[in-house]
Structure 1
C-alpha cells in the first residue's frame, strides 16, 4: 500500500484509488444500516444545506423551514442560490441537495428525483394596462419591457421568456436583469415592466403583482422540477424524508395557484 522513500512513506497508485472510493463506500454502508433502524427526523440536529434556483426559492425554502420547525426543530436549514458551483458542491458534500429545473447538464454522479411540473406565468402590477385588457396574446406583451432574474448556470445566457417567444416568432424587449429577485420584483411593481415567474409561490409574496391571463393555446411554458443530490446519498433516509416534504409543499403551492 505504501512505498518507503527518503522522505518517508509514499502511497502506491492502488492506495490512492482506494482512498478515492472508500469514503463513498462508508457513506453507502452507513445509509444501508440506517434503513434497518428506525429513522426519526425529529432526533436529527445537523445543518441541512440546500441550493435552490431563485425562481423556485420564493416560497419552497420558507415553507420547508416552517415545516421542519414543527417536525425537526433541531435541524438548521441553510439555503443558497443555485449557481455554477452547485454541482461541485454536491459532489464535495458542501451542500446536501439542490432544487432546479430538469434537465440540467451535470456530472454523472449527480442524480435526481422529479418533484413537480412547474408552469411559468407573467406577473404585472395590479393596475397595469394589461390587467384591464381582455383577450391578451403574446403579441400584446411585446409592447412592454420584461424584467428577469439571472440564475448562473441556468438562464444566464438565454432566458426562458426568449425561448418561449421564439416559438411564436417574437422577441421580448428585455428591460432589466438582476440576480436579486426582490430588485426585479420592485421594478415590475413600480412600472409597466412584466415579470416571468414560477407559479410555485405563495399568493402573499408579491402583493402588488398579479398574473396576466393569456388566451394563447397553452401556458407560458412547462418545466419539470427535480431534487438533485450525489449518488452516494441515494439510500439516505434523511434525503428521502426531505424529498417527501418538498414534494408535498410543491403540490400544495401548485394547487393554490390553480384556484
Structure 2
C-alpha cells in the first residue's frame, strides 16, 4: 500500500514549500515568511525527507525546482488557496492587517497610466505590506498559476488557461494620441485619412508583439500602415510622438484630456474593431478571495477615474 504523504504533515511546511517555489531563493523566501533563512533551510530539509525528493537544486541564481516539485506545487497552490479561503470565510477582511508581499503585473499601458497611483492607494489602506507592481511578461501566466502573482491586468487575451479567471473592466476607448500642436486638427480620424501618416506603436506583451493592432485595422482596407517606431516603453513612444508628427493608436486613459503636450483624436474604424477591453486575470481559486477582490476593486476604481 502506498505511503500516505498527507499524514502528520504540517500545513506551515506546505506554505513554506510554496513560497520557496515561488521565490526560488531561500533568502527571499525567508523575508516573505518573516523568519530566518536557517529556519527556511531547516523546513526545506524536513520537506525533502518527507517527500523523498530533493525538491530544489542549487543554481547560480538561486534554486530550480525538480519535476516532482513542479507538479506538486502546481497542484498545491489552488488547493491551499481554497483551504485558507474556507478557513477565513467568516472573518471580516481588513486591508490594514495585510502583511507580506503583493505582486501585481500590469501591461505597459496600465503601468504608465496608473501604476504609481495603484501603489499609493494600496499603501493608504494596507500600510504593512510590500507591493511589487511589475511589467507583464512571458512569465505572468505561469506565475498567476503558481500563486507568485496575485492579480494581473492586460487587454483580453485568447487561449488562456482554464484555471485563470478573467474579470473585465469596461469602458476603454480606442483613440489616436498626437502632440498638442499636430497639423491634423480634426477631432476624429479615419483609416483613409491616416494612410499617409507615420505611426508610433506600443508593444503589449501577449497581445501584439508580432503584429501591431494598427496593422489589423489597416488590413480591413487592404492597406499597410507606415509604422516608424515600436517600443515596449510608453514613455519612449510618447517622447517620439511629442517631437514628431507620428500618430500613436492607444486607449484614452493613456493621457489626460487636458495634457499640455498631447491631445486625443477619436479613432473611427469601419468593420470589426480590435478589442481594447481591460481584463484582470487571477487564479480561479481566488474568485471569492477577499484580498484578490479588494485588489480588483482598486484597479477598477483607478481605471474608471481616468476615463
TM normalised by structure 2 equals: 0.71
2:136 pairs with 67, 72, 82, which one? 82
Residue 61 to residue 104, structure 1, CA distance change in 2 (3 Å): farther
**1:190 pairs with 233, 243, 251, which one?**
243
1:169 aligns with 2:210: no
2:100 is equivalent to residue 46 of structure 1: yes
- Residues 231-242 of structure 1: matches in 2 within 5 Å? 231-242=284-295
Shift of 1:68: 1.6
Cα offset, 1:119, TM superposition: 1.2
Aligned to 2:280: 227
Instruction: Give the SS at the match of 2:205.
Output: coil
Q: Pick closer, same or farther for the CA change 1:214–1:157 going to 2, 3 Å.
A: closer
Deviation, 1:58, is: 1.9
- 1:60-79 superposed matches below 5 A: 60-79=114-133
Alpha-carbon distance in structure 2 between the residues aligned to 1:25 and 1:135: 51
Deviates more, 1:55-64 or 1:89-98: 55-64
TM-score normalized with structure 1 length = 0.83
Structure-1 separation of matches of 2:277 and 2:206: 17
Count of matched residue pairs: 247
What is the CA–CA distance in structure 1 between the aligned matches of 2:85 and 2:236, rounded to whole Å? 42
Gaps of 5+ in 2: 5-48, 54-67
RMSD, aligned α-carbons: 3.0
Structure 1 residues 112 and 20, CA gap change in structure 2 (3 angstroms) = closer
Gaps of 5+ in 1: 255-259
Q: Please identify, of 15-24 and 106-115, the stretch whose mean Cα deviation from structure 2 is larger.
A: 15-24
Structure 2 residue 182 is matched with structure 1 residue 128: yes
**Greater RCO (CA < 8 Å, at least 6 residues apart):** 1
